[in-house]
Amino acid sequence: MVERIPLTDMKVREAGKVVEIFGGREVQRRLRALGVRPRVKVTKVGAVSSRGPVVIQVGGTQISLGFGISYRIVVEVNR
């Protein structure tokens, strides 16, 4: 079953496809510069705590994003 969830709700080592990013132009621009955009596959590598930074892998690059921005990224995961 395919679910749409915030990036923060993904489990560690779970992969998903970015489907939507909520935020203004600057948020969108910054995430695009990091390679995070709709239709891109991301894998959650780790998280510091329940409201801490989230580490994801996009292609061969690992990126650490704050909780607030991670919560605005909606991904589709197969569960």
Sign of the CA dihedral 78, 76, 14, 67?
A: negative
Contacts of 2 (CB under 8 A, 6+ apart): 76, 77, 78, 79
**pLDDT bracket for residue 79 (50, 70, 90):** confident
pLDDT of 20 above 90? yes
Name the token pair of 25. Answer: 């132009």
Domain with residue 46: its CATH number is 2.30.30.90
**pLDDT bracket for residue 44 (50, 70, 90):** very high
User: Is the pTM for the entire model greater than 0.75?
Assistant: yes
Per DSSP bridges, beta strands 2-6 and 41-47 are: unpaired
Domain that holds residue 56: 2-78
Domain count of the fold of the chain: 1
Cα-to-chain-centroid distance, residue 7? 4
